[in-house]
C-alpha cells in the first residue's frame, strides 16, 4: 500500500495547522458518506471497489478475451475520463517500448486511442495503420454525441464496415455507455453491439474503476481483479475514522489546502518513472476539473524527472514561489541494470560502476527534493512499493478520495464541470451547427 510522507512540508506549515483541519476533514467525510454535500448524486465511485461484483469482472474479462482472440489492435475511442484512466494504467503496466513488438510476439492486442483529439493527420495515420492489421473497437461515451469521439467513431465505423463487411462488425465493436438512453446506446441496441454500462452516479474522471477503464485494461491483458482489490483496500482504509495523520487521503487533502491558503496555487506532480506519465495526465484532469471553479482551485501541472530537470527545472528551483510538488516514488523496479566499468573513464562515471540505475535515480530524486525544499518549494512524497495492478488500484482510489475532500475544503462541487461546455458552444457556432 502507498505511503505518504509530508516531512518536507514541515518547514512551511506546522503540525498545529495540520491538526486544526481535523474538524474540516471530518465534516467533508461526513458529507461524502452521508451524501449531503455538493454533487451528492455523483458519489457512486465512493464504494465502487467493494460493490464491484465478480460477475461483472467475469463478463468484462470474457469480452476482453473475445476481442483479443480476433484482434492485433484494439482502438479505444474516448476523451477525458473516457480514456485517460485506462491509458494511465495500461501505460504504467506495459513495457516502455511495447509498441515495437511484432503482433505475433504479443500476448495481448496493442491498445491504440482515437477521439481524444480532432487531429486530421493523427486519425488519417491511424486508419492507414489499421489497413494492415485485424482490429476491434471499444467506444466509450455516456451520450455518444461528444464531438471528438463521435467524429472518430464515424470514421472508424465506416472503415471497419468496409474492411470486414457491415454484417460482420458487431462482434468487433463493444460500447461502454448509458444503461438506457443516448445516441450510442440506441446505436448499440439497433446494431447488436455488446455493451457495458457507465453508472449514472459516477462522473467521467472518477470512472476508471468502472467498465470505462476496466474493459480496455483487461483487453490489454492486465488483471482487473487485482486492480479492484487494491482499490478496495484503500477504500476500507479511507472509511476508517482515524486522525488526519493516519489516513493518507485525509492528510494529502489537508496539506494541499493549507499550502493553497499560503499562496501555493500550483501543484506539480512529478514522477521519476517514465511509464507513469499518463497517470500524471489522468491526475491533472481529476484535480483540474474537480477543483477549478468559482475562481478557485490549485492548478495541476506535471513533470517527468529527471528529464524535465533539464528544461523547466530552473523555474521550479528559482522561479515564483507559488508552487509545491508531489513526487511519486517507486521503490522496486521490474528489472536490474547496472552501470558498467569503463577503463578509460573519460566521462568520470566509474564512481557509479556497479550501481543499479534505480539506485542512482532514487538519489537524484532525494537530491532534487532537498534542493527544491531549500529553494522554497514544499515537497509531498507518495511511495509505491511497485508498479502493479494492486498498487495502482490503491493509488487511484487514494487520489479520487483526496480530490473529493479537497473540493469540499474549497467549497466547490467537485463532481461537475460547467466550464467544459464553453469552448463547445463557440466551436458549434463557428461550424454552423443548427441552434448555435
> Which residue in the block uniquely carries the three cell numbers 484512466?
85
- The one catalytic residue in 235, 281, 289, 391 is 289
Omega within 30 of 0 (cis) for the link into 291: no
Binning the chain into helix, strand and coil, the percentages to the nearest 5 are 55, 15, 30
* 372 catalytically annotated: no
* 159 catalytically annotated: no
Q: Which of 191, 189, 134, 196 is nearest to 160 (CA)?
A: 134
Q: In what order do the strands lie in the sheet with 110-114?
A: 110-114, 73-77, 135-140, 173-177, 194-197
Gyration radius from the chain CA atoms: 23
The beta strand positions in 264-377, using DSSP E, are 266-271, 299-304, 323-332
| 43-70: burial string, b at 16+ Cβ within 10 Å, e else | bbbbebbeebeeebbeebbebbebbbee
- The one catalytic residue in 105, 107, 120, 310 is 310
- The one catalytic residue in 58, 166, 363, 424 is 424
* 374 catalytically annotated: no
Grid coordinates representing 231 are 482499490
| CB neighbourhood size of 237 (10 A) | 19
Grid coordinates representing 399 are 487520489
Cα 7 versus chain centre, distance: 26
* 405 three-state secondary structure: helix
**Catalytically active residues, by annotation:** 289, 310, 424
Amino acid at each position: 500500500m502507498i505511503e505518504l510522507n509530508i516531512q518536507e512540508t514541515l518547514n512551511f506549515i506546522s503540525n498545529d495547522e495540520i491538526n486544526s483541519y481535523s474538524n474540516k476533514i471530518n465534516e467533508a467525510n461526513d458529507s461524502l458518506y452521508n451524501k449531503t454535500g455538493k454533487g451528492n448524486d455523483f458519489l457512486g465511485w465512493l464504494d465502487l471497489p467493494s460493490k464491484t461484483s465478480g460477475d461483472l469482472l467475469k463478463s468484462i474479462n470474457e469480452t476482453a478475451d473475445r476481442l483479443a482472440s480476433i484482434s492485433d489492435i484494439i482502438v479505444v475511442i474516448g476523451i477525458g475520463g473516457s480514456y485517460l484512466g485506462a491509458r494511465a494504467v495500461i501505460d504504467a503496466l506495459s513495457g516502455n517500448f511495447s509498441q515495437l513488438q511484432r503482433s505475433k510476439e504479443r500476448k495481448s492486442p496493442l491498445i491504440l486511442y482515437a477521439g481524444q483529439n480532432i487531429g486530421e493527420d493523427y486519425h488519417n495515420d491511424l486508419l492507414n495503420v489499421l489497413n494492415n492489421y485485424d482490429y476491434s473497437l471499444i467506444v466509450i461515451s455516456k451520450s455518444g454525441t461528444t464531438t471528438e469521439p463521435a467524429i472518430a467513431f464515424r470514421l472508424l465505423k465506416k472503415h471497419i464496415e468496409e474492411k470486414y463487411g457491415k454484417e460482420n462488425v458487431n462482434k468487433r465493436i463493444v460500447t461502454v455507455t448509458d444503461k438506457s438512453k443516448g445516441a450510442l446506446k440506441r446505436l448499440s441496441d439497433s446494431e447488436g453491439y455488446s455493451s457495458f454500462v457507465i453508472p449514472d452516479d459516477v462522473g467521467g474522471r472518477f470512472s476508471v474503476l468502472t467498465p470505462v477503464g476496466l474493459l480496455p485494461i483487461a483487453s490489454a491483458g492486465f488483471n482487473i481483479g487485482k486492480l479492484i482489490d487494491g482499490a478496495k483496500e484503500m477504500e476500507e482504509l479511507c472509511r476508517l475514522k482515524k486522525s488526519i495523520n493516519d489516513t493518507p487521503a485525509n492528510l494529502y487533502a489537508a496539506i494541499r489546502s493549507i499550502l493553497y491558503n499560503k499562496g501555493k496555487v500550483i501543484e506539480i506532480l512529478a514522477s521519476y518513472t517514465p511509464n507513469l506519465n499518463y497517470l500524471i495526465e489522468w491526475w491533472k484532469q481529476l484535480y483540474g476539473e474537480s477543483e477549478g471553479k468559482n475562481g478557485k482551485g490549485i492548478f495541476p501541472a506535471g513533470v517527468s524527472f529527471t528529464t524535465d530537470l533539464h528544461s523547466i527545472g530552473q523555474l521550479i528551483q528559482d522561479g515564483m514561489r507559488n508552487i509545491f510538488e508531489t513526487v511519486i516514488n517507486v521503490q522496486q523496479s521490474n528489472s536490474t541494470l547496472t552501470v558498467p566499468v569503463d577503463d578509460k573513464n573519460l566521462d568520470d562515471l566509474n564512481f557509479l560502476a556497479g550501481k543499479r540505475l534505480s539506485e542512482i535515480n532514487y538519489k537524484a530524486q532525494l537530491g532534487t527534493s532537498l534542493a527544491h525544499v531549500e529553494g522554497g518549494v514544499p515537497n509531498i512524497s507518495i511511495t509505491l512499493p511497485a508498479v502493479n495492478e494492486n498498487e495502482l488500484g490503491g493509488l487511484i482510489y487514494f487520489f479520487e478520495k483526496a480530490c473529493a475532500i479537497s473540493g469540499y475544503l474549497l467549497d466547490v462541487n467537485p463532481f461537475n464541470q460547467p466550464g467544459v461546455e464553453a469552448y463547445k458552444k463557440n466551436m458549434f457556432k463557428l461550424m454552423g451547427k443548427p441552434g448555435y
